[in-house]
Amino acid sequence: MKFYNVGASGNAYKVRILLALLRVPHEVVLLDLAKREHKTPEFLHLNPRGEVPVIEDAGAVVWDSGACLVYLARKHGGDQWLPIAPAPMAEVMQWLSLAASEIQFGLQYARRGLMQKRWTAGTLEQGHAISRVALGALEQRLASHEWLALDHPTIGDVACFPYVETASESGIALDSYPRIKAWLARCLALRF
């Protein structure tokens, strides 16, 4: 299995976490963003978005971090990380969707903007407002549960973890989200 990565990507970090948790042997292909290796015709053929992560495995090419998590969970994770019964699978999917929408265009966006001084989808304040929708949903869930979906860790937790863990780099303090802080500690205790 080839895993295309760059150093600072939280989206690729999701995949790194699950590869570690499931102990999946793989080869890392590190792309050089400065050389725009993520925008070559060859790479755009693998992923039309021109982004990491991408996985190549046994003839399959998977782009998008959520799709990579689904692939690895179904192939190597048994039923724990992504169950296939309708209600539990949908519960996990809710958090994959939140990671792809409000977390991506809120927390990830604000972090990238602050790091790169580049604003392509609104101001920092707008990014923070979107972030707070995501953080509110997490805090509400975690008020009565230990994990985002079901009663054990799933790829829903893995998908939401990276950009919530780096919330301070997005300019957001988590002091008013005590349940999220406790959940981050539980995630880290999984030792990936």
Closest to its own copies by CB, 48 vs 173, is: 48
Query: What tokens does 69 get?
Result: 């998590």
Determine whether 47 is exposed, middle or buried from the number of CB atoms within 10 Å of its CB (0-12, 13-18, 19+).
Answer: middle
Q: Taking the complex as a whole, how short is the minimal distance between the CB of residue 14 and its own copies, in angstroms?
A: 12
Task: Output the CA–CA distances (angstroms, integers) from residue 185 to 85, 117, 164, 174, 180, in the order listed.
Answer: 29, 30, 12, 13, 9
Closest to its own copies by CB, 31 vs 189, is: 31
Closest to its own copies by CB, 84 vs 189, is: 84
Binding site residues, its own copies, CB under 8 A: 48-49, 58, 60, 62-68, 70-72, 74-75, 84-87, 89-91, 93-94, 96-98, 100-102, 104-105, 119-122, 126-127, 129-130, 133, 136-137, 140-141
Query: What tokens does 36 get?
Result: 């725009």
Closest to its own copies by CB, 82 vs 167, is: 82
Q: Taking the complex as a whole, how short is the minimal distance between the CB of residue 189 and its own copies, in angstroms?
A: 25
Q: Taking the complex as a whole, how short is the minimal distance between the CB of residue 130 and its own copies, in angstroms?
A: 6
Query: What tokens does 145 get?
Result: 């549960």
H-helix segments, 63-154 = 65-76, 86-98, 109-116, 124-142
